[in-house]
Amino acid sequence: MATILYALPFLLQGFLITLWVSALVVVFSLAGGLVLGVGLVYGPRTVQWLVRLFSDCIRGIPILVLIFVVYYGFPPLGIAINAFWAGVVALTLFKGAQVIEYVRGAISSIPKGQMEAGKAIGLTFVQRLRYVIFPQAVRRFLPPWINGVTDAVKGSALISLLGIVDLMQSINEVIGRTYEAMPLYLLGAFIYFAINYSLSLTSRFVERRYAYIRD
């Protein structure tokens, strides 16, 4: 107990960094993945090919390798980037590639006649997406996306390998001072579990809400 009380102030700082990194990754990957996912389904052939190439290549690279590629590969190209943003960019690329597939799958599950019906009544392309496609696709998009958000939280621990003092790195630093690993790793596991369990409860609530609206 004394070790945990000693570690809490250090872990709190790392916890806030973990939340900040996770939030940035989730927001950026959702925004980019949504745009590219729509482009993959409805874009010109060239756009579809480029988005598919990006998605397949990024998803085929382990996250850790991608982090190192961004961190060590960008500076020689003249792109100055620190460790924090290298981690955020790499995780965003990886999660964004997954969001593209979530969007593609959700939109592709909607019958094509829905889009044609919207066009027949004079809706613009954006209006068809907003009022016809997205309200139906969101129910199919949410479950895999929420699962991807929990993966983003867990994957954020990898940025500690770049020297970022997130929750995982904070735990390791305290272990280096106290030499008591098990209580601190258990505490860290509990914190990650609490975050992801909260996200799971939120996802269930949202899914029930949309199921109610549908019915």
Phi, psi of 150 (to 5 degrees): -65, -35
Look at residue 9 and tell me whether its pLDDT is greater than 90.
no
Stated as kind and residue range, the H or E segment containing 126 is: helix 125-128
- Do 173 and 7 contact (CB within 8 A), yes or no? no
Where does the pLDDT of residue 24 fall: very low under 50, low under 70, confident under 90, or very high at 90 and above?
Answer: very high
| CA nearest neighbour of 104 among 25, 26, 34, 53 | 34
- Do 160 and 168 contact (CB within 8 A), yes or no? yes
Domains and CATH numbers, the chain: 2-214 (1.10.3720.10)
Query: How confident is the model at residue 166, as a pLDDT?
Result: 81
pLDDT digits (tens, 9 = 90+) for 81-97: 888 999 999 999 999 99
55, 65, 181, 213 from 79: Cα distances, Å: 22, 18, 38, 47
Look at residue 79 and tell me whether its pLDDT is greater than 60.
yes
* Residues 8, 3: Cα–Cα separation, whole Å: 9
| CA nearest neighbour of 184 among 11, 55, 52, 9 | 11
* Residues 205, 15: Cα–Cα separation, whole Å: 25
* pTM score: 0.84
Count Cβ atoms below 10 Å from residue 66 Cβ, excluding itself.
Answer: 20
pLDDT digits (tens, 9 = 90+) for 94-152: 999 999 999 999 998 888 888 888 888 888 888 888 888 888 888 888 888 888 888 88
Strand residue runs (E) in the chain: none
Residue whose entry in the numeric block shows the structure tokens 């929750």: 167
Residue whose entry in the numeric block shows the structure tokens 């990886």: 94
